[in-house]
A and B are shown apart, each in its own frame.
Chain A
């Protein structure tokens, strides 16, 4: 069955290292979202793409985070350099938006997440 996949599922790294997280959206979906979840802050939207173009990344720390969609089947979220406060679960979600805002009443399907620990 169709589902969003994310790799790696777990990542432990040291402060200062580069981290790349990957997401494969559901085939045919045109919108991809990146979220971060921590115990303290809960869920936060970092960035989202529509038809591979970045629409909004205002939720993302610009100096160290970058998000791209090299093609329709791959979205990446990169942190360089990583810091301990980046430790969180990072979720990717995809959806099919045929009109209006991606934040409208459109279903989003979440991946299983990447649990990142920065020591």
Chain B
């Protein structure tokens, strides 16, 4: 069964510090992996989309990595800001497409403290 596991479930760090969020998946055959940021009460916003051949992608202070061999991805946030407080959701697409080809993680709830 396709699964996406995110860790930690929640994380509290001080403003200015770095952090790394993890996403492990068992989706097959793999198509792409997305990281979304979701602020409270808002829709998700795409941070990165990575395909099989990409192993690093950056978007400002966000850097995602993908290891397709070990089926792991990470999202690294550098020099965190208060506005980074949000849920971060990992979503993996299988190549067959369709609604059942999309597997969602439950998210990591990140709180940045001043």
Seen from chain A, the residues whose Cβ lies within 8 Å of a Cβ on chain B are 4, 42-48, 56-60, 91, 93, 101-113
Identify A103's interface contact among B46, B93, B104, CB under 8 A. Answer: B93
B98 CB to closest chain A CB (Å) equals 5
The answer to whether A42 touches B106 (Cβ under 8 A) is yes
The answer to whether B89 touches A102 (Cβ under 8 A) is no
The 7 listed contacts between A and B (C-beta, < 8 Å) are A42-B104, A42-B106, A44-B104, A47-B99, A103-B32, A103-B94, A103-B98
Seen from chain B, the residues whose Cβ lies within 8 Å of a Cβ on chain A are 31-32, 41-46, 49, 51, 89, 91, 93-95, 97-102, 104-107
The answer to whether B100 touches A59 (Cβ under 8 A) is yes
List chain A residues, Cβ under 8 A from B42.
Answer: 112-113
Q: How many A-B residue pairs have CB under 8 A?
A: 62
List chain A residues, Cβ under 8 A from B51.
Answer: 105
B23 CB to closest chain A CB (Å) equals 13
With A42-B105, A44-B104, A45-B102 given, is the CB distance from A103 to B44 under 8 Å? no
With A103-B31, A104-B32, A107-B49 given, is the CB distance from A46 to B99 under 8 Å? yes
The answer to whether B98 touches A43 (Cβ under 8 A) is no
* Residue of A whose beta carbon sits closest to that of B42: A112
Report how far A112 CA is from B31 CA in the complex, Å: 27
With A91-B43, A93-B43, A113-B43 given, is the CB distance from A103 to B102 under 8 Å? yes
Interface centre among A103, A108, A111, A113 (most CB of B within 10 A): A103
A30 CB to closest chain B CB (Å) equals 16
